Structure formats: C-alpha cells, structure tokens
Amino acid sequence: MKEYKGFASLLDNIDRLPDVGWLFVDSTMDRASKDSVKSAVFYTAEDDAEEVFFENYKRVFVECPTMLDIKRVVDKRASTADLETYLEAVLYYLINDDFKEFNT
C-alpha cells in the first residue's frame, strides 16, 4: 500500500502512481468538498488483496491514469498551475466526468 497524506503530497508524487488501479480515500471523506480533498489521505493498492480490502473499506476517488490525465490537461491548458488549479480540476472531473476547460 502506498499512502499520500494530503492533495499536495499526491501531486508531488503523481509520477509514482501505478499505471492501472484506483486512488482510494477514507469512506467518510466528502469528495465534493475542496477542504476534504485537500486534506484527504489517498491510498493505492500494491496487490490484489489490498485492492479488495480498499474496495470494501475505503472509497474510490479516481483512477490513477485519470489523475495523471487531469494533471496533464491542467499543465497544458491552464495559464497558471498551482495547487488550487489542480484541486479545482479534480473536483470538476469528479462532478462532470469531463476535463475542465481553462481560459488561457
């Protein structure tokens, strides 16, 4: 299991995310709340047993490849790419199942 404490830590380690699989969060975390996402602990499974455990006791946040894509879209389209911009892009994706457009 890999654990990332806070959204900033997740972004700092985004290149270490697995090519497949999910990011999980605690089951009580409010995915629509910017503050909750910012302070969440994110988990990735390193084997099938951990994946099953997380599926039963944690909450799916977003697929790892999708998180990488969200970051790439922000890096490409946003005029400034800070923590808040990435956070807004992730929240937008979670609500709309689409990538956020940016005015450049």
Q: How many domains is the chain built from? A: 1
Q: Tell me if 101 is assigned to some domain.
A: no
Q: Tell me if 104 is assigned to some domain.
A: no
Q: Express each pLDDT in 86-97 by its tens digit.
A: 999 999 999 999
Q: Tell me if 103 is assigned to some domain.
A: no
Q: Tell me if 64 is assigned to some domain.
A: yes
Q: Tell me if 86 is assigned to some domain.
A: yes
Q: Identify the pLDDT of residue 104.
A: 56
Q: Tell me if 48 is assigned to some domain.
A: yes
Which residues, in sequence order, are CB contacts of 21 under 8 Å at separation 6+? 44, 45, 51, 63, 64
Show the domain range for 40.
2-96
Q: Tell me if 59 is assigned to some domain.
A: yes
Rg (CA), the chain: 13
> Which residue, 31, 21, 81, is CA-closest to 61?
31
SS3 102: coil
Which stretches of the chain drop beneath a pLDDT of 50?
none
